[in-house]
Structure 1
């Protein structure tokens, strides 16, 4: 999972991109990068670390230009080396810098094609570099001596033909403009907006609408599945559907966990979707445990808080903030390695004894993936004096790998894989465990936009929205498990 942003303005944009990346920091804490364009010259800074670590004041001042792109990354494939920080750059044709959120499922095939047929060398293990070179090759074929919207759209059409999987992309071509496009299934989010200034219209393309809001851009809409949005050097907006077959299939985990609650994704309020998750989970608990003895509902901060409030209301019990979060520790789920995740849970959360002592507590989390955090927090609750500790998940059991850009590939790392709910409950050390059903979760999100026909719920259902080669799952498990990350990192 990554965060991306592109902006074209009438003034230097480096500081705006910097602020935008801090807003998107929750989407990736491994690396950050920025490319800006001043006339025909491109400036690029990228490195491992948080946004505030990568960009000092001297770096921002060197990133000149009135248009640019930015990227925050956490690794799923490849390594965490500096060379895989984005944006990536190629000088032919015209010079292109590109940032990508998602994961290509046919990267190996494309790598071979690029070398044998397109005569392009890939220097890293990143599928984002592959995607950039596919786009660059197709733009070379489509364009003459300059870049026009028609050539951009033809190149993106060929990208859709060749690339499989999930991809939301921003790119900048020096002297010609910025663009963004989204895979034909719309798995990863991408929105665009405009703001009026004294000089004229400025445009932004980014992962989440919150970035637009904070910078005063009006949300024009989501980039549709298969669509490309191109803003040329004259600030003229062009957009076109570039795929022959599309079906909106947004990633369910965006609503459950990844996206900020103040974002809109595919016309669905993430905040309201999470409220509805809590309401439906309360109904399920009452149906399953009509005589429950729950005294208090306590969210595991921060993502589950929105869900836990209507859950407590629906059960008719108190809602309390019993876990205090250290906000200077990153999101444990996206840390590259199990050892880091385990060490970070205790540094991240502390239990308020007065909210646990002598009570039957229902802990609420957005999801249970590896179970690392849940096990330790349940133990913390008992040490704080809780009589009973129940656990509720706003999402169904995560039993299968996500291959579209979320770091849950190795089934052996998923606590619910090949286990019943009762077995997971025992492993977690809880007195009771309840999951949201997939039907209720999808209904909670779809209520915001009835035009969504399906979601990417593959990590819950084992049903994948794109074609996947039979041996692909073995490949990603070998690349992405924690042992591989330790050796690569």
Structure 2
């Protein structure tokens, strides 16, 4: 475990935050790509002078672990610059300390009681990461901490920018010292440049956000307060919670499950194009974008967010059961049992069972203690299929006609292994039902999807996919059914991975990095 670092007036190089074993190895760690869209990231922030903000952030990140299992980090600010209302931040230089700890691994692996006890503070920001941009190295772990004339800022980012080439050039022209390969560090440096050029925290941050195009939900710690920010489309989620303390304190999290774990009450979402500024005076709101247009990622609803998290005044478990019922109405099958691919397919499978009248059963048991591993299984284990994570129940499946419900198919490799495992366990028919439309386009906004030529539905018909994965029948939820069951305005979601209709224009050279070339000019 790496030693804790304390930062004061001068922020160290990000390379120094990791252990020698990590930072000396500049090569990327490689593991087999999962056959799922990979999670975005989880961000957390808390303003709570007098509370143990490091431990609050640790537990918040623990609840958000599903959003990224590659690295984790926390930064705490000790000795805030407490300003009277209307007082300029430049009138009081930060004399406190920033404590930063981040490393590769799960939250529980990166932090210990000893480390957290060495991170006092009045506010904190935290991050759990899956690398959608930048390599898988500790230098790219977050929060990103950079120095300004008003003291350090610590930034945790969920999302992806699409104009990183242009922004990087802009920053290098201004002699910004970029030391990682992430767009998150670019956002931090853009804010730092504006502040160091003479602007106050809010003015500098808003100027920087106008340089950013794409998806960004941010928790930003400064010596004067905590910021929560969403891009003008609100593509990635961010919520505000209240701690019932005296005085009242505030929390930011990617999902409401990050509030629940520490006993905070959900207040509301940060709105698209909004900046909330949390200080000793309370919470202030600034709408920095003139033309916000809500485009929440629909995959947050279908798959990414935890089923116990709230969106649109209900748990996602309820929405996922509803799309399962819709799927049953659209695509029935004559079968003996309905099973799910655990855990993400369970609510939809239950909904499918309820609407179809086909009994629900557990046919696959998931090993919930398997995280991402960089240790390659043996050839014999690879040939045995999926049993490191999923193991079929032979006595449940044998002699049965099975409907299996999953949330998505990306490349089809895992689906094929699951179907083979079900048949090996004795299933006489396998009918697969998918609780989302076919994934035909890559994401550029914070979900790590394959390039388009690797997406099975981009190059094959449903009948061809069914043949390739070995099922008796295959059906997807319709795009219209997916949006109808949200009970929200269908135009308030980004569903570009199903349609190719990207709400934030993607530069042609960026498109060509993931789209099939012949289609790049027209998709």
Scaled by the length of structure 1, the TM-score of the pair is 0.89
Is 1:8–1:235's contact at 8 Å kept on the other side of the alignment?
A: no
Matches of 1:65 and 1:193 in 2, distance apart? 19
What's the offset of the Cα at 1:235? 4.8
* Count of residues paired in the alignment: 457
Task: Tell whether 2:371 aligns with 1:330.
Answer: yes
Is 2:443–2:496's contact at 8 Å kept on the other side of the alignment?
A: yes
Is 1:409–1:477's contact at 8 Å kept on the other side of the alignment?
A: no
Matches of 1:353 and 1:104 in 2, distance apart? 46
Matches of 2:453 and 2:348 in 1, distance apart? 28
Task: Tell whether 2:133 aligns with 1:133.
Answer: no
Match of 1:486 in 2: none
Match of 2:233 in 1: 185
Match of 1:255 in 2: 301
Match of 1:85 in 2: 141
Task: Tell whether 2:115 aligns with 1:54.
Answer: no
Alignment match of 1:436 (pick from 477, 497, 517): 477
Task: Tell whether 2:70 aligns with 1:30.
Answer: yes
What's the offset of the Cα at 1:346? 2.1
Instruction: Quickly say closer, same or farther: Cα 1:127–1:278, change in 2 above 3 A.
Output: same
Within 5 Å, give how 1:62-141 maps onto structure 2. 62-93=118-149, 94-116=151-173, 118-141=174-197
Instruction: Quickly say closer, same or farther: Cα 1:342–1:471, change in 2 above 3 A.
Output: farther
Is 2:435–2:476's contact at 8 Å kept on the other side of the alignment?
A: yes
Is 1:75–1:336's contact at 8 Å kept on the other side of the alignment?
A: no
3-state SS of 1:221 partner? strand
Instruction: Quickly say closer, same or farther: Cα 1:275–1:342, change in 2 above 3 A.
Output: farther
Instruction: Quickly say closer, same or farther: Cα 1:20–1:339, change in 2 above 3 A.
Output: farther
Matches of 1:337 and 1:412 in 2, distance apart? 25
Which range moves more in the overlay, 382-391 or 405-414?
405-414
Match of 2:55 in 1: 15
Query: What is the CA deviation profile of residues 108-146 of structure 1, one whole-angstrom value per residue up to 9, with x for unaligned ones?
Result: 110000011x32121111111011111222333463xxx
What's the offset of the Cα at 1:477? 7.4
Match of 1:361 in 2: 402
Instruction: Quickly say closer, same or farther: Cα 1:101–1:266, change in 2 above 3 A.
Output: farther
Match of 1:203 in 2: 250
More helix by share: 1
Give the RMSD, CA atoms, in angstroms.
2.3
3-state SS of 1:345 partner? coil
3-state SS of 1:63 partner? coil
Matches of 1:368 and 1:440 in 2, distance apart? 17
Within 5 Å, give how 1:160-309 maps onto structure 2. 160-174=209-223, 176-197=224-245, 199-232=246-279, 234-267=280-313, 269-286=315-332, 292-309=333-350
Query: What is the CA deviation profile of residues 199-222 of structure 1, one whole-angstrom value per residue up to 9, with x for unaligned ones?
Result: 311110110011112322221110
Instruction: Quickly say closer, same or farther: Cα 1:67–1:347, change in 2 above 3 A.
Output: same
Matches of 2:277 and 2:431 in 1, distance apart? 50
Q: Which runs of 4+ in 1 moved over 6 A?
A: 335-344
Scaled by the length of structure 2, the TM-score of the pair is 0.84
Gapped regions of structure 1 (runs ≥ 5) = 287-291, 479-489
Gapped regions of structure 2 (runs ≥ 5) = 1-39, 80-95, 517-523
Match of 1:481 in 2: none
